A and B are shown apart, each in its own frame.
Chain A
């Protein structure tokens, strides 16, 4: 009887009760895990957005700072009646006929594909006193002249010429659109010994001196501008600008007064989920844009009034919205300090 009395109300749990309790607990844990993981995902996305655009922003500032210091160091020299300069070959027969502005340096805006096979948009190459040297003694001089260039290409971070950041012991590789910087140290400047753009092609050749500056930059556009904001060379139907192009007398051995730099970046999650087909489609889309400077705004910006439906809008921004890329457009106008423009 005492035993019975004691056992009353102490029946313990049955297996069924236990299972039900555990099922409820499991359900709660699953709910909690779901919430936590969805919060973590959105935090990660936001974080990726901030960090990837942060790298692009730093890179963009670097482009602006480097280009604003671009130099040409022009001087006046004689030309003969055929507009040729005195060289060692024609020195005996050279008869001066006129003066012209000359320079041994070079400022060029050209299609990125001319210098990098998987290039995108426009590339800009120039000389600027950035003070980079591989020699420990001369690197103490802060104003040494360097050749510098910026372009975008689609590449693999494990390939030679791109692998300046990925250590050997990290396996795997990432193919991305990357903003690259060409930086030639003072002691290996090639600009003085080459005619036209030969120094660029050799610097971009087998042991190329370009390094990744930021990942996930899909295109870069440079526009040489006059002080009144009009495009240079005047009336040109291209973004290209070549200070060594003698046929364009207005811009021969001249720096543009200002350069408008436009850069479009996407975030890492958007880049990571891009399939090879999507990548090819994006390249095709970009290939058809930014050819004619008069269509610049229509190529870049979404036009919501003319095209309420983004699918019909031919602009890059509408394409990125349509294909759910997280993107950011950077745009600035860089004043080139040493431009000595006279018409």
Chain B
């Protein structure tokens, strides 16, 4: 308001009748503009950081969903007394990483396939040996699903004892989920990922983040 008062004194030399009209345009000075831009930039940075947090929480959510599905597969195997598989599907586009999974109940040669879960756009499972032992070394099973390569489907089989078939009782087996945009470096994990870890003896699972 002081600025206005000042301009009023400047204009006081002009005829009284025009004084109210002749206030000069205060507008923005360069300094003012710079201050505004600086503050906007700070807010913008914070917003972008926030968006990053949202992206990482999507990775975690996907890992939690995979873990819940694995838990369901194990429980189904124990309660039904039959093997139950958790299968991982690779999309048929060129740069695709594994991005789908589902439970398949095995009854002799009959298979009951439950609904296929697709990871949201921009999120995929890594298939490097570091972080995803299951997607690099679990047995392949020729299972077709629309949009996925049948021959690249991998499986983890839960037995009625709850354990996972075909792995030595040693290190945990893993599946890591990351944003698809993060470049895949051979045998390295990106800065932001979530790993679902499987204990092959008890069939228990856990989610780990860096």
Contacts and interface: CB of A to CB of B under 8 A. Distances in A.
Interface string A138-171: 0100100010000000000000000111111111
B131 A167 contact: yes
A134 B167 CA distance: 8
B183 interface: no
Contacts of B166: 136
A214 B161 CA distance: 17
Interface in A18-38: 18, 22, 29
Contacts of A211: 199, 201-202, 204
B75 interface: yes
Nearest to A129: B161
Contact of B172 (A134, A142, A165): A165
Contact of B78 (A14, A16, A29, A65): A65
Nearest to A7: B25
Given A65-B78, A181-B202, A165 B210 contact: no
B23 A11 contact: yes
- B36, B39, B162, B166: which has the most chain A beta carbons within 10 Å? B162
Contact of B202 (A11, A168, A213): A213
A211 B200 CA distance: 10
What is the size category of the interface that chain A forms with chain B?
35 or more
Contacts of A65: 78
Interface string B168-206: 110110100000000000000100000101010110111
Interface in B20-36: 21-29, 32, 35-36
B115 interface: no
A330 to B, nearest CB: 17
A136 B166 CA distance: 6
A130 B204 contact: no
A202 to B, nearest CB: 17
Contact of A12 (B28, B168, B174): B28
B159 A15 contact: no
Nearest to B2: A16
Nearest to A144: B161
A139 B159 contact: yes
Interface in B114-154: 130-131
9 contacts: A7-B25, A11-B4, A11-B23, A11-B25, A18-B36, A22-B36, A29-B43, A146-B161, A167-B197
Given A18-B28, A131-B159, 20 more contacts: A7-B25, A12-B25, A18-B36, A62-B162, A130-B161, A131-B161, A132-B159, A136-B166, A142-B160, A165-B205, A166-B197, A169-B130, A169-B131, A169-B189, A169-B195, A170-B195, A171-B210, A181-B202, A213-B204, A214-B204
Interface of A: 1, 4-5, 7-8, 10-16, 18, 22, 29, 58, 62, 65, 130-132, 134, 136, 139, 142, 146, 163-171, 181, 183, 185, 211-214
Interface of B: 1-4, 18, 21-29, 32, 35-36, 39, 43, 71, 75, 78, 81, 130-131, 159-163, 165-166, 168-169, 171-172, 174, 189, 195, 197, 199, 201-202, 204-206, 208, 210
